[in-house]
Amino acid sequence: MKLIENKILEDGKIINNDILKVDNFLNHQIDLNIIDEYAKEVKKFFKEEKIDKVLTIETSGIAVAYAVCESLGKVPLLFAKKSKSMIVDSNVYSTEIKSFTKNFVSTVTVNKNYLQSGQNILIVDDFLAEGNAALGLIDLCHQAGANVVGFATVIEKGFQGGRKKIENLGVKVFSGAIIKAFENNKPTF
């Protein structure tokens, strides 16, 4: 989407040549015009699919997922929680997800009552990098026997390999913008 590419070029800051900071419209302050337009494109991309629920991960995925749920006609939004407790509740599905930006592994859970066998789930997140968050959320769906309809992200860093891992599981991927590379401290698309 040109709208997102332009916003990245205007506001994005590259950190350590592998992280893009877009706090002005996605990760701190949120521009509703942008995420609403993004959500409309998600709806178009997955128009053939039946979607019962959107699954994301706290925190940055939630606002984007909310916009997508609205555009899909107010389907429920479920967010996986990053657990801090060592004692994992027995009524949850849980998985381990390595954080791309913080370099640690979190236990991530969803309550079994909210993710159920046969449900058609669209997974949404703000960024796609190496695909660990997406793979963890897909794993939670598989544990529940739910069907993963697709994965939608606002910004994909195409050079970090996440898409292939998700597509290898037979899951379709939609991205609002795909960054090909960071060249001379500028994203290229």
Provide the binding-site residues for ligand 5GP, judged by CB under 6 A: 19-21, 27, 60, 100-101, 125-134, 162
- Whichever of 39 and 133 has its CB closer to ligand 5GP, that residue is 133
Minimum distance, C-beta of residue 14 to ligand 5GP, in the bound complex (Å) = 8
- Whichever of 48 and 183 has its CB closer to ligand 5GP, that residue is 183
- Whichever of 15 and 87 has its CB closer to ligand 5GP, that residue is 15
Cα–Cα dist 8/111, whole Å: 35
> In sequence order, what are the beta bridge partners of 152?
124, 174
- Whichever of 27 and 71 has its CB closer to ligand 5GP, that residue is 27
Minimum distance, C-beta of residue 115 to ligand 5GP, in the bound complex (Å) = 18
| Neighbouring C-beta atoms of residue 174, cutoff 10 Å | 18
End-to-end, the C-alpha distance of the chain in Å comes to 10
The 3-state secondary structure of 93-111, one letter per residue: EEEEEECCCCCCEEEEEEE
Minimum distance, C-beta of residue 64 to ligand 5GP, in the bound complex (Å) = 10
Cα–Cα dist 42/67, whole Å: 10
